């Protein structure tokens, strides 16, 4: 791992599940797992909110959340963003809406000096909230995404097609679903990640996906966009860490100047990984985050 500055004990876990249903409310109450440190640090700042990427959920970040709670002595809230995991579904799925949900979460739980950590979709949500409401955020960690418009990998569209085919097939076992998904994704690890969204609704024999495939399929075209265009109008003047996978395309070198304009106090940590930085290199990721967030002497 290479880090550079660029300037222009077991945890206690409590799980809260929001009622997973379709809602028309403008702000969604997010489901979450709370990972509390066994030995809270007396001089530590506030809580950490950890946000997953597209098709992910709070359970994907369980291990790293526990590790950060332990290492930093801070509570970590791993949340399910709207249309994911156990959080409600909504027809609108964009970064402004997701940022408003997280702002509401901070206010609902009366959190202060909050750190935002987000991967991919969660990273752009963190960036959006930091720029929109900097008074709610102490610092951010953006994992393999940048404040630029960039098309999503074409594989995400293929995943939606494969997942829809699985639902149409009325599968009863995960092995059946995996056999279908093989036509859309070769990697067993990624297939397992996607199939982690499968569940059997109460009273039904067949398995369905927790995520609303139609809503997310429509949202794909816009999830590569970033809602802010002009860093001359808005910027986040507090610390920010951008962690990028050096074998990923989402944070190219040419994006670094625009990152510096929106986030003038940012640091960059390069990790030899693809887009799935946290799962590919968890130790290196944890080290980069702890070094960034540990109290400065």
Contacts of 108 (CB under 8 A, 6+ apart): 29
> Does 120 participate in catalysis according to the annotation?
yes
Give the integer Cα–Cα distance in Å for 44 and 75: 10
At 8 the pLDDT is 43
Q: Which of 65, 87, 97, 120 is catalytic?
A: 120
At 17 the pLDDT is 59
Q: Which of 93, 138, 275, 279 is catalytic?
A: 275
Give the integer Cα–Cα distance in Å for 98 and 94: 6
pLDDT digits (tens, 9 = 90+) for 177-189: 999 999 999 999 8
Concatenating the DSSP letter of every residue in 13-56 gives EEEE----SB---SS-PPPEEEEE-SS--TT--S-EEEE--TT-
DSSP-assigned beta bridge partners for residue 79: 32, 51
pLDDT digits (tens, 9 = 90+) for 45-97: 899 999 999 999 999 999 999 999 999 999 999 999 999 999 999 999 999 99
Contacts of 141 (CB under 8 A, 6+ apart): 115, 116, 117, 118, 126, 240, 241, 243, 289, 292, 293
The answer, as to whether pTM is greater than 0.75, is yes
Give the integer Cα–Cα distance in Å for 50 and 64: 10
Q: How many C-beta neighbours within 10 Å does residue 257 have?
A: 11
Ordered domains of the chain (ranges, CATH): 2-152+222-293 (3.40.50.1820), 155-219 (no CATH)
pLDDT class of 29 with cuts at 50, 70, 90: very high
pLDDT (mean) for 220-230: 92
In percent, how much of the chain has pLDDT > 90?
A: 81
At 7 the pLDDT is 47
Q: How buried is 202 (Cβ within 10 angstroms: 0-12 exposed, 13-18 middle, 19+ buried)?
A: exposed
Q: How buried is 295 (Cβ within 10 angstroms: 0-12 exposed, 13-18 middle, 19+ buried)?
A: exposed
Total H helices, total E strands in the chain:
10, 11
Length of the chain, please? 297
> Does 119 participate in catalysis according to the annotation?
no
Sign of the torsion angle spanned by Cα atoms 279, 140, 33, 81: negative
């Amino acid at each position: 791992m290479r880090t550079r500055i660029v300037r222009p004990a077991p945890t206690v876990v409590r799980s809260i599940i929001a009622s997973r249903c379709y809602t028309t409310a403008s702000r969604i109450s997010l489901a979450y797992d709370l990972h509390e440190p066994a030995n809270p640090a007396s001089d530590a700042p506030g809580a950490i909110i950890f946000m997953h990427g597209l098709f992910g959920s709070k359970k994907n970040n369980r291990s790293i959340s526990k590790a950060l709670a332990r290492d930093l002595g801070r509570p970590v809230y791993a949340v399910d963003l709207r249309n994911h995991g156990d959080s409600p579904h909504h027809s609108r799925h964009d970064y402004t809406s997701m940022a408003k949900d997280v702002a509401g979460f901070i206010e609902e739980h009366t959190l202060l000096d909050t750190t935002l950590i987000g991967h991919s979709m969660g990273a752009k949500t963190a960036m959006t909230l930091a720029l929109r409401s900097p008074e709610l955020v102490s610092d951010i960690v953006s994992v393999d995404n940048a404040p630029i418009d960039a098309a999503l990998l074409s594989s995400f569209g293929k995943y939606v097609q494969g997942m829809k085919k699985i639902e149409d097939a009325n599968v009863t076992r995960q092995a059946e679903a995996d056999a279908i998904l093989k036509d859309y994704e070769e990697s067993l690890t990624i297939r397992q990640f996607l199939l982690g969204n499968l569940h059997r609704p109460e009273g039904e024999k067949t398995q369905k996906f927790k995520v609303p495939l139609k809503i997310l399929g429509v949202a794909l075209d816009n999830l590569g966009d970033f809602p802010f265009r002009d860093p001359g109008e808005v910027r986040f003047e507090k610390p920010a860490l951008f962690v990028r996978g050096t074998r990923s395309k989402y944070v190219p070198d040419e994006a670094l100047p625009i990152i510096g304009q929106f986030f003038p106090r940012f640091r960059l940590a390069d990790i030899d990984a693809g887009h799935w930085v946290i799962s590919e290199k968890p130790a290196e990721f944890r080290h980069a985050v702890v070094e960034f967030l540990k109290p400065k002497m």
